[in-house]
Every structure is written in C-alpha cells, then in structure tokens.
Chain A
Amino acid sequence: AQKITQTQPGMFVQEKEAVTLDCTYDTSDPSYGLFWYKQPSSGEMIFLIYQGSYDQQNATEGRYSLNFQKARKSANLVISASQLGDSAMYFCAMREVTGGGNKLTFGTGTQLKVEL
C-alpha cells in the first residue's frame, strides 16, 4: 500500500528566504509520480510541480524545485525566495500507476507561514 508522510505540520520562514518542505513516501510500484499541491486559505488546490520515478533530473518550476532522492524515498519541495503569498497549506501526493490512472494518495500537509 502507498503511503505519503509529511512530518512538519507547520513551518515558518522569513520573506525572501528559502524553505524546504519534507515528504517521504512508500511504494512497491517501480513506476510512480510525485506531486506537490498548494492550498491557500481560499481552499482551491493548485498544482505546483511533478516528478516521475524515472526522471533523471530534479523537477523545477520557477521558484519551486523538487529534491528527489529515490533511494531515500523522499521528495522534498524547495521554495526559493519566499513571498507572503506562499503562505498556504502544501500537500505532497503520489500517483499510483496501476491501471494507468492518476489516483493520487495525499499526505497530511504542511502549513507554511511566510513572515516579514
């Protein structure tokens, strides 16, 4: 069975600093995908970044990068140059490839607060 673990319920970071949000996962499927979503206080789910299990390089999307360490089964999100608008809940998720679908399993989330 899949499992996603986010061990940081809450994090604080100062504006313009970088922050790392931790995510570890457990799966026996050799083919999987890892995702990060942002949920601001308004409630919508915003896709940030994706990493495939066979991707050789770490994914990057603007200020977001995914530190993928396959042997350690970790997929940490790094946000560079934090902004006040980055304050939100962040969810790590894993896609189950079986059946070719996109059934996502989510972690419990990390609440990030960016301070002046």
Chain B
Amino acid sequence: DADVTQTPRNRITKTGKRIMLECSQTKGHDRMYWYRQDPGLGLRLIYYSFDVKDINKGEISDGYSVSRQAQAKFSLSLESAIPNQTALYFCATSDWGRTEAFFGQGTRLTVV
C-alpha cells in the first residue's frame, strides 16, 4: 500500500460543483501539502499544514480551501469548480528534519 494515498485518482466534474480531494498518509509526518501541476508551469503550492492546528496559504490558494482532519488526513476542496482548475493535483508529506517530500499518486481533475 502507498504511504501517501489520494482519492479519487481521476474525477470529472461540472462547473459550479463542489468537490473534495482527499489525502491520507501512513508515514507519521507532521507536514502535509497540496500542489497543482499544469503543463509548462511545474508544481505550484496551493496550501500547506505543519500540524492539525496550522494551515497556510500557498502561492495559488484562491478558489481552494483545505481541512486537516487529523495528522494523517488533509483534504482539498474546490467550493465551486471552474474549468481552469482542471489539473493534476498532488498531496505530499514531509517530516521535520527530513529532507525530501513524499508524494501521493496524484488526482487528475477535469472540470467541464
């Protein structure tokens, strides 16, 4: 089983719908992140959390919200999806003092 699990893996939704992407991890890490990947733009940080009570905006948080339900769970919500939110979304985790971040398999979201 993957250490960082994202659900769903693929989703097609309609403009204006609310959608939630979920992330859970078994690595015991404190830090969790949501990134968005678009062709030619690399990965951009949406939100990050250093513990359950700590939520921080990244560089592209507009139109998104998050919830850190537990140390192991970090959800990303699109309150009213729009077509330019069509992208590949990644959840990642890291530990204090560790170097690399560990990524989930990604969620491919299409807003039509």
Chain A positions within 8 Å of B, measured between CB atoms, are 4, 6, 9, 33, 35, 37, 43-45, 47, 50, 52, 91, 93, 95, 99-109
Enumerate B7-42 residues with CB–CB distance to A below 8 Å.
Answer: 31, 33, 35, 40-42
Report how many A-B pairs have Cβ atoms within 8 Å. Answer: 62
Minimum CB–CB distance from A77 to chain B (whole Å) comes to 14
The stretch from B63-71, B73-81, B96-104 touching chain A is: B96-104
User: Could you tell me if B105 and A107 are in contact, using CB atoms closer than 8 angstroms?
Assistant: no
Q: Classify chain B: how many residues form its interface, as a range.
A: 20 to 34
Q: List 13 A-B contacts (CB under 8 A).
A: A9-B40, A43-B106, A44-B106, A45-B106, A102-B95, A102-B98, A103-B33, A104-B43, A105-B45, A106-B35, A106-B42, A108-B40, A108-B42
- Given A101-B48, A102-B31: A50 touches B42 (CB 8 Å cut-off): no
Contact pattern, B 47-62, Cβ under 8 Å of A = 1, otherwise 0? 0101000000010000
**Distance in angstroms between the alpha carbons of A104 and B34 in the assembled complex:** 11
Main secondary structure of the interface of B (DSSP, over half): strand
Contacts of A44 in B (CB 8 A): 103, 105-106
Contacts of A45 in B (CB 8 A): 90, 92, 103, 106
Question: Which A residue's beta carbon lies closest to that of B38?
Answer: A108
User: Could you tell me if B41 and A108 are in contact, using CB atoms closer than 8 angstroms?
Assistant: yes
User: Could you tell me if B50 and A99 are in contact, using CB atoms closer than 8 angstroms?
Assistant: yes
Question: Which A residue's beta carbon lies closest to that of B48?
Answer: A103
**Distance in angstroms between the alpha carbons of A91 and B96 in the assembled complex:** 22
Question: Which B residue's beta carbon lies closest to that of A52?
Answer: B99
Minimum CB–CB distance from A31 to chain B (whole Å) comes to 13
